[in-house]
C-alpha cells in the first residue's frame, strides 16, 4: 500500500493510533493493576489532530476537483461532437473537391 501523503503526516497518524490503542488496552486491563490512566489531549496534540484533519480535507477536495476535471476532459459535450462532425464533413467535402478538381485538370 503506497502512502500518498507526507511521511511526517504518517508518523503523526501512527502516533495518534498508538495512543488510542494504549487507551483501549488500559481500559481492558482494569482488573490487573487497579489504576486507570486517562489520556488527555493537550493543546499541541489537539492542534496536530486539527492540522491533520484540515490537510486531509484539502487533499480529498483536491482529489475530487482533479477527478471531476479529468471526467470533463474525457467526455465531449453534444456541442463539441456537433462541431467535430461538421468539421469532419467539411474536410471530406474539401478533399473530394480537391480530388475532382485534380482529375478534371488532368483530363484536359
pLDDT digits (tens, 9 = 90+) for 3-32: 566 677 777 777 777 776 665 555 544 444
Q: Which residue has the higher pLDDT, 101 or 71?
A: 101
pTM over the 0.85 mark: no
Per this entry, what is the length of the chain?
108
In this prediction, residue 66 has a pLDDT band, given cuts at 50, 70 and 90, of confident
Nearest CA to 48 among 18, 5, 8, 21? 8
Cell 475530487 locates to 64
Residue 91: all three cell numbers together = 474536410
Whole-angstrom Cα distance, residue 31 to residue 40? 22
Whole-angstrom Cα distance, residue 8 to residue 14? 10
Mean model confidence pLDDT for the chain: 76
Amino acid at each position: 500500500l503506497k502512502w500518498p501523503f507526507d511521511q511526517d503526516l504518517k508518523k503523526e497518524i501512527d502516533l495518534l493510533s498508538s495512543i488510542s490503542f494504549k487507551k483501549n488496552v488500559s481500559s481492558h486491563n482494569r482488573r490487573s493493576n487497579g489504576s486507570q490512566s486517562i489520556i488527555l489531549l493537550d493543546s499541541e496534540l489537539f492542534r496536530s489532530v486539527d492540522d491533520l484533519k484540515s490537510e486531509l480535507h484539502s487533499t480529498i477536495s483536491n482529489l475530487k476537483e482533479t477527478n471531476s476535471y479529468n471526467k470533463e476532459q474525457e467526455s465531449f459535450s453534444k456541442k463539441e461532437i456537433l462541431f467535430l462532425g461538421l468539421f469532419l464533413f467539411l474536410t471530406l467535402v474539401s478533399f473530394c473537391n480537391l480530388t475532382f478538381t485534380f482529375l478534371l485538370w488532368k483530363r484536359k
